[in-house]
Chain A
Amino acid sequence: MTLGAANQETAQEAAAPVVQLRAVTHRYGATLALEDVDLDIPAGCMAGLIGPDGVGKSTLLALAAGVRRLQSGDIQVLEGDIRDRRHLQDCNYRIAYMPQGLGRNLYPTLTVTENLDFFGRLFAQPQAERQARIADLLQATGLDPFPDRPAGKLSGGMKQKLSLCSALIHDPDLLILDEPTTGVDPLSRQQFWDLIDHIRAQRPTMSVIVATAYMEEAERFDWLAAVSDGKITATGTPEEVRNQAQQPTLEQAFIAMLPESVRAGHQEVVVPPFQPTATGYAVEAKSLTRKFGDFVAVDSVEFKIARGEIFGFLGSNGCGKTTTMKMLTGLLPASSGEALLFGETLDARDMRTRQRVGYMSQSFSLYSELTVRQNLDLHAELYRIPLAERAGRVAQMLQSFELEEDADKRPDALPLGIRQRLQLAVAVIHSPEVLILDEPTSGVDPVARDAFWQHLIGLSRNDGVTIFVSTHFMNEAKRCDRISLMHAGRVLTIGAPQEILEESGAPTLNDAFISYLKQAADESETAAPQGVPQAVDQPDLQAGGSTLVSDVQPAPRRRLFFNLARMWAYTRRETLEILRDPLRLTFAFLGPIILMLTFGYGISFDVEDLPYAVLDQDQSAESRSLLEAFSGSRFFEERDPAYSTAELAARLRAGEIAIAVEIPPDFGRALLRGEEPEVRVAIDAAMPFRAETARGYMQGLALSYIEDQSERTYGSVIDTSYASTETRYRYNQAFKSVFALVPSVIMLMLVLIPAMMSAMGVVREKETGSIANFRSTPVTRSEFLLGKQMPYVVIAMVSFFTLLAMAYWVFQVPVKGSMTALLVGTLFYVVASTGFGVLISTFTKSQVAATFATAVVAIIPAVNFSGLLVPVSSLSGSGRMIGLGFPSAWYQQISVGTFTKELGFAELWQNHIALVGFALFFIAASILALRKQEK
C-alpha cells in the first residue's frame, strides 16, 4: 500500500504544511476575494480560518480542496501542485470537502443511509465495505436510530453530523470543513467538535481545516489564521493571536487586528436598561401551534413581549423559530392557538396591522435586480409613505444605515453585512412599532454585527420599537432584555439573561442553553421513547465498538478513467430523487398519454363539414340539381340560403360560412343553351390549407355534376377523359390522419418531455449546491453526466411503451415494419433527446433559464420542421436545415417507417446512424462544457 506509506511520511514530517499558498489572488468579476495571500497551514492538526462571511475564507478552502480553479499564484496541497491534473485526481481521493451551508451537499429526499450509500459509491466502495463503514459512522455519530429518515427532515445538528459522515466515508487525509457549525444549536455544536477531536485522536495523521465565524469555537483550534477582506491578518495558536493583539478574547482580538478604516466607528455595544414607557404587550403568543402533516413544528408556544422590549429568541435551525415568527407576521396561519398584536387577535388580512410591523426574513429576500435605492423606494411606496415625505424618508434611511455610498449598487455586489443593514432599513422604513427579525446577523462579521445592534438598540430605546429577534450568537442574546430558549417546537425557558444564568447555575449562557437542551432531551426520551429525535443525545464516543475511522480495509484504489460504480451512484441517486417526487413522475407519464389522446383524436387534415351558403338567383330545376351535388357531399355543410350578394359577403367575412356560392339569374336557360353559364364561388382563404382543399373539392364536385347531367340527359355517362389517373395512397390506404399522426406524436413526446426532465438535472444541482459533491470527489464528468442521464432514458423508454400500447389498443395503429428497428431507434432517440436536455443544463445557470431554453429551442424544430405537419422533403432553406439539425426529423423517419411503411434496418439505417451521431454529439458537448473545477 503505497498510499499508506505516504501517509506515514506525512505524519513524520509534521513540519511540512498540508496546504501552502503562495501569492494567491482570486477575483469574482471586479470583486477581489483573495489578495496576494501567502499562507502555510500546518499538517496533522486542527487548523482554523476565522473571520466573517465574505472575506475569502470559503474561496481559500475551495481552492485548497481543488473544487475551484486557481486563477493566480501557487497552491501545494498534500505535497503536490494542485494545478497538476494527476495530483488533483489524487487529491479527490484524499481530501474530503464539506461545503458551506447546513447540509447543502446532502440530498433532502434521500434517507440517511441512502445519502451515505451514495457517497460510498462515489468512491467505488464495494457493497460490504460500504455497509460496514455506514454502520460504523452512524453508530459513532449517534445517527443509528434514524437510518431511514429523509435528510431534509433531520434537525440542524443531525444534518451536520450526516454531512460529516459523508465526508469521512473514504478515510480522507485532509478534512476541509467550511463553516460546519453555522446555524446549529450550542449543544450540537459542542458535540460536533467533540466528534472531530475523537476522530483526530484515532487518526492523528489526518489534517483538519475548518472555517468558522464563531470566535468562541476558534479557542479550541490548534492553529488559526484570521482572515479579513481577502488578507490574512494573523496566524498562530489562539493564545499567540490573543497575545499579539493584547485582547482577552479572540473576538476582541479579531476586531483589534482589523485595519483602522474598517474598525473606525466601532464601539462597544452598551445597552441602556429597559424602562417600559407604555403598558400592555406588543406581541403575545397563546398556545400557538403549527403542524405540517404529522410533524408538529411549533408546539403550544406561549410568551408575551412588552412594548419597547428587545426579546431574544434562541434555538437551533429547524426548532420552530422561523415558523413561530411567520405565524406572528400572518404569513402562516396557526393550526391552533392565537397570536395577538397590541392586544388584538392577528388578522392576516388587516392592512393596518401590517403597517405596524416590520419583518426581516432569515435569508436575504430583497430584489437583487433592483439597486439599494430602488429597493428602498419600492418599500416606501408599498408602505404608503406619503409622496411628500417619501424622498426624505429614503434619504434618512440611507444616511442612518450608512448606505449612501452603495445606494446605486445592486445588493448582489455588496457584502453580507451591508445587505443585512439594507434589509433592516427596508424593514423599518415605515416606522413600525414592532420589528420581527429572523436571524438578522447570521454570517455577519463582528464589527458589522455590533453596528447592526447599535441600530437595534437605538430603535428600541429611542423610538420605543418592540424588537423580537432570533439569533445564534450568545453575546447577542446577552444584550436582549429577555430571551427564550426554544427546542424541537417548544419553549424551554423564558427570562432575562441574568435570571437564566442564575436559575441554571451555569457560568455562561452557552452552557445554560446546553443544560436546558440536555434536560429537554432526557424528558422527551422518557416521554416518547421512540419517535422524537435523540440527536441531542451524546454519542457514546468511548465505547469500544463505535469508531469513526473504520478499520474496514479499503478496496484497492484503481484510478480508472471511467468507473461504472461511480456512474451508477449518480444513476441510483437521481432515480431515488425522481421516485420521491411523485408529482414530477406523474406529469412525466401522464403528459404524453394525454397529448397522444388529444392529438390522435384531435389533429386531422381531413377537411370536412365546410359550412357554405347559396344565393340562388335562378331557382330553376337546373340550379337546384347543381346545388344537390353540394348538399349531398360529406365535405360540405349547408347553412341558410342568402338573399343578396352583400349578405353572402358579410357572412363570409364574419366567418360563419367558408364558401359562398352564387348562381346567376338565367343559369338554367343558359345551361340548356350550352352557353357555359358562370357560377361564382368565393372561398374563405384566411386559412390557405383549408381553402386549397376546398377548391379541390369544388372542382371535383363540378366534374361529378357534369357526369350526372350527361347521365340524366343521355342515359349513360359519356367519358370525357382521354386518359385516367390511378392514385395509390401508399402506406395508408384508407388515407386516415391517425396513421400518420400516432407515429409523429410519439416522435414529439419523446423529445419534449425527456429533454425537459433531464434539463433540470445539472442546473438543479448548481442551484442547490450539491454540485460540490461532483467537484470534490473522484467522479469524472462523463460518469456524472451519463449517470444523471440514465434514469431519464429509462423513464422515456417506459413512456414509449405506454405510447406504443396506446397506438395498438386505442388507435389500432400497429407496427407493420421491424419492431427491433423501432426499439433500437427509439433508444438512440431518447438518449439523444435526454442528452440535449443535459447539454442545455450544463450551459444554463438557473432552472428558470433551463426551462425556457428547452421549451423554446425544442418546440419549434420538433413541431414545425420534423415532418409532423410538413414532410421534411418539401421543407426549404432554413426550415430544412433546422429540421435536419435536430434529432426529431430523423426519428420521424424511423417511427413512421416502422409503423406504416413496413420498413426495417435495411431501409432506415442511415437514420439510426444520424441519431447515434446526435446522441454522441450532445453527450460529448455536455462533457466538454461542464467543468470539474468551478471558475
Chain B
Amino acid sequence: MKQWLYNIFILGLKELRSLRADPVLLFLIVYIFSFAVYAVATGAKLEVSNASVAYVDLDRSELSGRIIEAILPPEFDRPQEIAASDVDRLMNDSDYVFVLSFPPRFEADVIAGQQPVLQLSVDATAMAQAGNGAVFLQQIITAEVNKFVAGDDSSSSLPIDLIITAQFNPNLQSVWFSSVMQVINNVTILSVLLTGAALIREREHGTIEHLLVMPVLPSEIMLAKIWANGLAIIIGAILSLWLIVQGVLAVPVAGSIPLFIAGSVLYLVSVTGLGILLATFTTSMPQFGLLVMPVLIVMNLLSGSTTPMESIPDWLQTIMQISPSTHFVAFSQAILYRGAGLETVWFDMVIMVLLSLAFFIIALLRFRQTIASSH
C-alpha cells in the first residue's frame, strides 16, 4: 500500500515534469483560464442585454419620443430609427431583434381613449432574448403610456404591491453566472483532453510498455495521471476564479471556498478518469479527438451551466445524471451563489465520488486489454 501510494506519487511528478516541458499545452491552459473565461463572461449574455431595437415612427409625437427615450441600456441598445419599408430587410439580415412600429395618430388616440395598437416585431430565432425582451418592452411601453396619461411618475394601477427581489444576484448580472460557469466548462474540456491525450501519447511513444514491465500497476499509472493533471488544472481553475472572476470581473463569491475546492477535487477526479476511459476506447489521436468533441459539448451545454436544468426534458435530465458536470454545476451554483453548505451539496458530492469510481474501474478493466490489442 505504501509502495502503491509512493509509485503514484513519483509517476505523478513525472507527469508534471512532462507537462512543464510542453509549452503548447501550458499556453493553452493559461489561455483557456484567462482570456477565454474573460471573453465569454463579458461577451455572451443569455439574458436581455444590449438587445438591438429599431423603430418606425409614423406618429412623431411626444409620447412616441418618450417611449423611445425610455428604452435604455444595459438591456437595450439605443433604438435606431428606420423606414417602414426597411423593416423586412433589416430583420432578415438579423440587424435588429426588435422593431417597434408607432402608428400615425398614436398619441392622439391614446388621449382620446381609442386604445391604439403598437406593433412589436420580434425575431423569434434569437431564442434567448426574444421572449424576455418582448416582455420588457411591453412593460416599458405600458409604464410610459400610463405615466403620460396620468401626468406624473407615481401612478400604479395595481391593487397589490408586488415586491420582487432577486436573491443571490440582485442586479441579475450575467457576468456573475457566466464567468464561473465558463471556468467549470473549461475545467471539463481540459481535464478530459489532457489526461486522455497523456495516455494516448504514452502508448504511441511506447513508454507505457516500459512502465508495465516494471513493478508498476496500471492503477498506479492511471491514478498518477489523474492527480498530476488534476492538480495542474485545479491550480489553473483556482487562479482563474481568484484573479479573473473575483479580481478582474469583480464577481462576489458567497459560500465556503474550502468546500468548493473539495468539491472541485472530486469533480476533477471524475472527469480526468473519464478522459482516461475515453482514451481506452480509441487507438490514435484522430479517433480520440473525434470521440471527445461531442462528449465535451454535451457535458458542457446540458449540464445546467448554459440553459436552466428544468428546461431540459425529464428523460434527458435523467441521462445527464451520469455526467459529473451536471452534479458539479449544481454543486457550484449552490455554494458560490447561494452560499449553501455541506448539508445541501453532500448528495452531489457522493454522486461525483460514485461516478469517479465507476469510470476508474471500467478504465482499469479496459486498460490491459487495450495495451495487449495494440499490436
Scan residues 863-883 of chain A and give those whose CB is less than 8 A from a CB of chain B: 863-865, 867, 869-880, 882-883
**In this complex, what residue of A is CB-closest to B313?**
A601
The answer to the question of B85 belonging to the interface, with a C-beta cut-off of 8 Å to chain A, is: no
Say yes or no: A606 contacts B311, CB within 8 Å.
Answer: yes
A892 → B minimal CB distance (Å): 9
A-B contact pairs, 11 of them (CB 8 A): A381-B10, A601-B313, A605-B128, A689-B174, A725-B142, A730-B91, A735-B130, A753-B293, A855-B293, A867-B94, A876-B43
A858 — nearest CB in chain B belongs to which residue? B293
Interface residues of B (CB under 8 A from A): 3, 6-7, 10-11, 14, 17-18, 20-22, 24-25, 28, 31-32, 36, 39-40, 42-52, 77, 89, 91-97, 106, 109-110, 113, 115-132, 134-139, 141-142, 145-146, 149, 156-170, 172-174, 176-177, 189, 193, 197, 200-201, 205-207, 209-217, 282-294, 296-298, 300-302, 306-308, 310-313, 316, 330, 333-334, 337-340, 343-344, 371-372, 375
User: A709 to B160, alpha carbons, bound, how many Å?
Assistant: 11
What are the residues of chain A within 8 A of B40 when measuring CB–CB? 860, 864, 879
Which of A54-62, A240-248, A592-600, A771-779 is the interface stretch? A592-600
Q: How large, as a class, is the contact surface on chain A?
A: 35 or more
Question: What's the minimum C-beta distance from B282 to chain A, rounded to whole angstroms?
Answer: 7
B160 pairs with A702, CB closer than 8 A: yes
> 6 closest pairs, A vs B, by CB?
A879-B43, A732-B124, A847-B285, A369-B21, A686-B337, A685-B166
Residue among B120, B142, B206, B290 with the highest chain A CB neighbour number at 10 A:
B290
Distance between Cα atoms of A591 and B294 in the complex (Å): 6
Asked whether B138 lies within 8 Å of A729 as measured between CB atoms, the reply is no
Instruction: Contact check, B308 vs A689: say whether CB atoms are below 8 A apart.
Output: yes
CB distance A757 to B290 under 8 Å?
A: yes
A777 and B322 CA atoms in complex are apart in Å by 52
| Contact status B210-A722, CB under 8 Å | no
Docked complex Cα distance between A676 and B157 (Å): 10
User: Cβ of B132: which chain A residues have Cβ within 8 Å of it?
Assistant: 689, 692-693, 696
* Across-interface contacts of B24 in A (CB, < 8 A): 844, 849, 852-853
Question: In the assembled complex, which residues on chain B have CB atoms less than 8 Å from the CB atom of A383?
Answer: 214-215
Question: Which residue of the partner chain B has the closest CB to A900?
Answer: B125
Residues on A with beta carbons closer than 8 Å to the beta carbon of B28: 852-853, 856
Residues of chain A within 8 A of B11, CB atoms compared: 382
Q: Does A462 contact B (CB under 8 A)?
A: no
Q: Which residue of B lies closest to A323 (CB)?
A: B375
Contact B129 A870 (CB under 8 A): yes
Complex: chain B residue closest to A676, CB-CB: B161
Contact between A730 and B290 (Cβ–Cβ < 8 Å)? no
Whether A326 contacts B209 by the Cβ 8 Å rule is yes
Whether A655 is near chain B, meaning CB under 8 Å from some CB there, is yes
* B308 and A681 contacting across the interface, CB-CB below 8 Å: no
Say if the beta carbon of A340 comes within 8 Å of chain B. Answer: no
A719: B residues at CB distance < 8 A: 115
CB–CB B308/A698 < 8 A = no
Q: Say how far B343's CB is from chain A's closest CB, in angstroms.
A: 8
A679–B330 CB distance below 8 A: no
In the complex, what distance in Å separates the CA atom of A331 from the CA atom of B200?
17
A692 and B172 contacting across the interface, CB-CB below 8 Å = yes
A sample of 10 more A-B contacts (CB under 8 A), given A583-B283, A607-B311, A874-B45, is A292-B375, A361-B210, A382-B216, A584-B286, A689-B308, A760-B285, A764-B286, A848-B200, A874-B97, A907-B92
Residue of A with least CB distance to B92: A907
A869 touching B44, Cβ below 8 Å: yes
Stretch of A118-126, A177-185, A491-499, A737-745 on the interface side? A737-745
Return the chain B residue nearest A365 by Cβ: B206
> Does A329 count as interface, using CB distance less than 8 angstroms?
yes
CB <8 Å contact, B213 and A730: no
Q: Contacting A365 at CB < 8 Å: which of B89, B169, B170, B207?
A: B207
Judged by a CB distance under 8 angstroms, whether A404 is at the interface is: no
With A756-B289, A852-B24, A856-B32 known as contacts, the answer to whether A655 contacts B330 (CB < 8 A) is yes
The answer to whether the Cβ of A45 comes within 8 Å of any Cβ in the partner chain is no
CA distance A880 to B45 in the complex (A): 12
Contact between chains at A722 and B145 (CB < 8 Å): yes
Q: Which residues of A contact B165 (CB under 8 A)?
A: 680-683
The reply to whether A679 and B39 form a contact with Cβ atoms under 8 Å apart is: no
Interface pair B3/A384, CB less than 8 Å apart: yes
Q: How far is the CB of A862 from chain B (nearest CB, A)?
A: 9
Q: Does A374 contact B (CB under 8 A)?
A: yes
B277: min CB distance to chain A, Å: 16
Q: Is the CB of B333 within 8 A of A855?
A: no
A-chain residues with CB within 8 Å of residue B177 when the two chains form the complex: 686-689
Per the bound structure, the CA–CA distance linking A602 and B326 in Å amounts to 13
User: Which of chain B's residues have a CB closer than 8 A to the CB of A859?
Assistant: 189, 296-297
Query: Complex: how many Å from CA A367 to CA B340?
Result: 45
Residues on B with beta carbons closer than 8 Å to the beta carbon of A686: 168-169, 177, 333, 337-338
A382-B215, A724-B117 are contacts. A671–B159 as well, Cβ < 8 Å? yes
Interface pair B215/A354, CB less than 8 Å apart: yes
- Asked whether A878 and B127 contact (CB < 8 A) given A354-B213, A598-B316, the answer is no
B10 touching A722 by the CB < 8 A rule? no
Name the distance in Å between A21's Cβ and chain B's nearest Cβ. 35
Of the candidates A332, A595, A692, the one whose C-beta lies within 8 Å of that of B372 is A332
Q: Closest CB of chain B to A802's CB: distance in Å?
A: 14
Interface string of A293-317 (1 = CB under 8 A from B): 0000100000000000000000000
Asked if A727 is at the interface (CB within 8 A of a chain B CB), the reply is yes
Residues of B within 8 A of A644 (CB): none
Please tell me if the beta carbons of A654 and B344 are within 8 angstroms of each other in the complex: yes
Known: A382-B214, A610-B310, A676-B161. A756 touches B290 (CB 8 A): yes
A878 touches B44 (CB 8 A): no
Residue of B nearest to A703 (CB): B158
CB pair A595 B163 closer than 8 Å: no
Asked whether, in the complex, the Cβ of B189 is within 8 Å of the Cβ of A653, the reply is no
Q: Which chain A residues (685-738) contact chain B, with CB distance < 8 Å?
A: 685-693, 695-696, 698-700, 702-703, 705-706, 709, 719-733, 735, 737
Q: How far is the CB of A19 from chain B (nearest CB, A)?
A: 35
Q: Which residues of B contact A732 (CB under 8 A)?
A: 124-125
Is there a chain B Cβ closer than 8 Å to A674's Cβ? yes
A752 touches B298 (CB 8 A): no
Q: 1/0 contact trace for A764-806 toward B, CB 8 Å?
A: 1000000000000000000000000000000000000000000
Question: Please, how many angstroms separate the alpha-carbon atoms of A333 and B172 in the complex?
Answer: 61
Q: Which residues of B contact A99 (CB under 8 A)?
A: none
Whether A870 contacts B44 by the Cβ 8 Å rule is yes
- Interface 1/0 per residue, A597-633 and B, CB below 8 Å: 0110111111111110000000000000010000000
**CA gap between A634 and B212 in the complex, in Å:** 59
Residues of the B chain whose Cβ atoms lie less than 8 Å from the Cβ of A727: 120, 122, 134, 138
A928 CB contacts on chain B under 8 angstroms: none
Which one of A332, A592, A903 has the greatest number of beta carbons of chain B within 10 Å? Answer: A332
A678 on the B face (CB < 8 A): yes
Asked if A249 CB lies within 8 Å of chain B CBs, one says no
B290 near A721 with CB under 8 A, answer no
The chain A residue sitting closest to B96, CB to CB, is A873
A723 touching B375 in the complex, CB below 8 Å, given contacts A686-B338, A695-B164 = no
Residues in A with CB closer than 8 Å to B52 are: 871, 873-874
**B193→A852 contact, CB < 8 A:** yes
- CB of A379 within 8 Å of the partner chain: yes
Tell me if A688 and B91 are in contact (CB < 8 A): no
Q: In the complex, which of the residues A671, A681, A848, A877 contacts B162, with contact meaning CB atoms closer than 8 Å? A: A681
Is the beta-carbon distance between A741 and B160 smaller than 8 angstroms? no
Looking at the assembled complex, report how far the CB atom of A11 sits from the nearest CB atom of chain B, in whole angstroms. Answer: 47
What 1/0 flags go to A184-215 for Cβ under 8 Å of B?
00000000000000000000000000000000
Docked-complex contact A330 and B213, CB < 8 angstroms: yes
Check if B124 sits within 8 Å of A688, measured CB to CB.
Answer: no
In the complex, what residues of A have CB within 8 A of residue B168's CB? 684-686
A270 beta carbon closer than 8 Å to chain B: no
- CB nearest neighbor in A for B44: A864
**Does B308 lie within 8 Å of A355, measured CB to CB?**
no
Cβ–Cβ contact B301 & A655, under 8 A? no
Q: Is residue A283 contacting chain B, with contact meaning CB distance below 8 A?
A: no
Check if B215 sits within 8 Å of A384, measured CB to CB: yes
